[in-house]
Amino acid sequence: MPRRLTTGIASVALALLGVLGVASPAAAVTTAEKVAVLSSWTQTSATSYNAWNSARLDKAPWSAYAFDWSTDYCSSSPDNPLGFTFDRSCQRHDFGYRNYKAVGLFSANKARVDSAFYADLKRSCATYSTVVRPACYSLAWTYYQAVSIFGSTAAVQQSDIDRAARMKADAERHTTTHP
């Protein structure tokens, strides 16, 4: 088949696809584009957290980025110690660690991902009554220190959770005896 005819058929086929509204395959996502999105989703702000959480709930638009959404939540530490909700903070932390490791930029971003984790934990604690909030903040600090120093909340000791439990119980007891 002559080259001119082959080129003409290809042009007609592309035009027909455009008229019919059939999308062409999306361009591959570059590493730079992936890192830019990853960076925007691992900042300390609530806006960054909310953008990540929206994407987590609707992953389809982000499939070309091939993000690793897997998580073990707070590793071997309680996901929701003493009833404080830490699981989503741990999930975003896992997201940051796993995806920065995948693109080879973990060490350059670990401190920021850990700081975002701590900010997420504190935002979670802020939703609890002022009576028990100090116990939550104490656990948040302990979880942050574990990831900051050891890279995992698995380093959280039962004694740390017990200390926060005593703080919480004392605070709750104080409010029932002194309204």
What is d(CA 108, CA 44) in angstroms, rounded to the nearest whole number? 16
The active-site residue out of 93, 124, 146, 160 is 93
93 is catalytic: yes
Three-state secondary-structure class, residue 86: coil
DSSP letters, 18-81, are HHHTPPPPPPPPPHHHHHHHHHHTSSSSHHHHHHHHHHHH--GGGGGG-------TTTTS-SSG
Distance of CA 12 to the CA centre of its chain: 46
List, by residue number, the catalytic residues. 93
